[in-house]
């Protein structure tokens, strides 16, 4: 079983400018004898051409190829500085709707699933980054306009005003649809940026899926917590209008509208919780009779340990795929339990509304019952 392949990201250069930052101007050429600023992405190699005269006895020299362009996070592809971030504005720009909702109007309510789905629309459309242009939905095509769109705000906000629509939370409280915001109050055009949190990509919570609007266009990728640069200055926030009836467990996993019960996870319906002892797995591939766990076909938690080979693992994986929770498989499910199986099970558990140890990715009897029901 192959483990999931994560996208490797070349971190930003020493010109640590993310998103909508106003970058230092980079001269098109460096003076003779001096190096070019690291933010420049092209090196122009000019080869001199000798004259084709017989007196010099030299042919025409060929020009050396230019070095390939490398786009680093937070650095424009053309190496040029960004313009300052856009100000607070109505939808569709200065000629659009009024900049503020009517007095006493409540913030638009939106679910986490809807926030992520809205964020994905710009990723799919590859909306070009711009401080002044407005997309067809009326939102400005920069980082704060992107969050305004995902949260369905009635205006285009900026990094200095988004915090008024949200509450500060902790890293441990982050859920899909929340944001990580850096607003430089001393110099708003230097460093300010915001990204949408899409879910953790590892169990240690050192990286997460980030949705962000940055040159050249909207992107979704694994990002180190809290960001590539100025990491300590990015603060987690939660939109005040978010509702909890539909909560995506992890980015990309189908969600359910069923609200979790007071007892969550494997402890539901009087069944043993994640910490309970499980009966050992059997060697056969058929259904296992109901035992102390009370669920027919469940082979026991010991079956689902790293490196374990069992036909029950294949059966579990095939059912996860049928239910729409197979996104972490690279070659399809197989008999050897691995990290792809665990992450798919975790996504299914979280879709049930379970959190914490109840969504550890290891199937207990209640997970098995719901998966095969």
Per-residue pLDDT at 189: 78
Give the predicted TM-score (pTM) of the model.
0.48
Residue 242, pLDDT score: 93
Determine what percent of the chain is predicted with pLDDT higher than 90. Answer: 42
Q: Which of 9-18, 105-114, 253-262, 356-365 has the lowest mean pLDDT?
A: 253-262
110 SS3 class: strand
Predicted local confidence at residue 294, as pLDDT: 57
Residue 129 has a pLDDT of: 95
CA gap 207, 223 in Å, rounded: 5
Whole-Å CA distances, 362 to 214, 261, 291, 305, 309: 37, 20, 19, 8, 15
Match 């069923």 to its residue by tokens.
Answer: 258
Beta-ladder partners of 89: 156
Q: Hey, where are the domains in the chain?
A: 89-243, 265-372
241: pLDDT strictly greater than 60: yes
Q: Give 135-144 pLDDT, tens digit per residue.
A: 999 999 999 9
How far, CA to CA in Å, does 47 sit from each of 33, 58, 68, 69, 87?
17, 14, 17, 19, 46
Its CATH class, for the domain covering 89-243, is alpha beta
CATH class entry, domain 265-372: mainly alpha
> Per-residue confidence at 97, pLDDT binned at 50, 70, 90?
low
Reading the block at residue 78, the tokens are 């053309």
Q: Are strands 179-182 and 235-239 parallel, antiparallel or unpaired?
A: antiparallel
Q: What is the pLDDT of residues 172-193, one digit of tens each?
A: 999 999 999 999 988 887 889 9
């Amino acid at each position: 079983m192959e483990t999931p392949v994560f996208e490797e990201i070349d971190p930003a250069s020493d010109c640590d400018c993310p998103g909508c930052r106003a970058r230092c101007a980079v001269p098109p050429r460096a003076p003779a004898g001096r190096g070019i600023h690291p933010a420049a992405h092209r090196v122009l190699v000019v080869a001199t051409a000798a004259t084709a005269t017989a007196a010099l006895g030299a042919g025409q020299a060929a020009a050396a190829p230019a070095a390939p362009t490398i786009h680093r996070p937070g650095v424009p592809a053309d190496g040029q500085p960004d313009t300052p971030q856009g100000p607070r504005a109505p939808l569709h720009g200065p000629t659009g709707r009024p900049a503020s909702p009517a007095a006493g109007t409540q913030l638009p309510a939106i679910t986490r699933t809807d926030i992520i789905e809205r964020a994905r629309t710009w990723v799919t459309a590859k909306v070009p980054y711009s401080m002044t242009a407005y997309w067809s939905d009326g939102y400005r095509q920069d980082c704060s306009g992107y969050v305004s769109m995902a949260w369905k705000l009635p205006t285009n906000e900026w990094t200095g005003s988004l915090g008024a629509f949200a509450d500060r939370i902790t890293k441990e409280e982050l859920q899909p649809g929340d944001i990580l915001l850096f607003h430089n109050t001393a110099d708003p055009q230097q460093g300010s940026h915001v990204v949408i949190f899409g879910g953790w990509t590892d169990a240690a919570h050192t990286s997460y899926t980030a949705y962000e609007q940055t040159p050249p266009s909207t992107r979704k990728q694994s990002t180190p917590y809290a960001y590539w640069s100025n990491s300590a200055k990015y603060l987690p926030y939660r939109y005040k209008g978010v509702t909890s009836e539909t909560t995506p467990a992890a980015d990309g996993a189908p969600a359910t509208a069923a609200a979790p019960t007071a007892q969550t996870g494997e402890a539901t319906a009087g069944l043993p919780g994640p910490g309970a002892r499980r009966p050992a797995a059997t060697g056969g591939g058929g259904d296992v009779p109901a035992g102390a766990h009370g669920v027919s076909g469940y082979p026991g938690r010991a079956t689902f340990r790293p490196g374990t080979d069992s036909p029950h693992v294949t059966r579990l994986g095939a059912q996860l795929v049928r239910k729409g929770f197979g996104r972490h498989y690279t070659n399809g499910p197989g008999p050897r339990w691995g990290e792809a199986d665990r992450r798919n099970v975790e996504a299914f558990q979280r879709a049930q509304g379970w959190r914490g140890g109840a969504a550890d990715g290891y199937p207990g009897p209640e997970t098995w019952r719901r998966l095969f029901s």
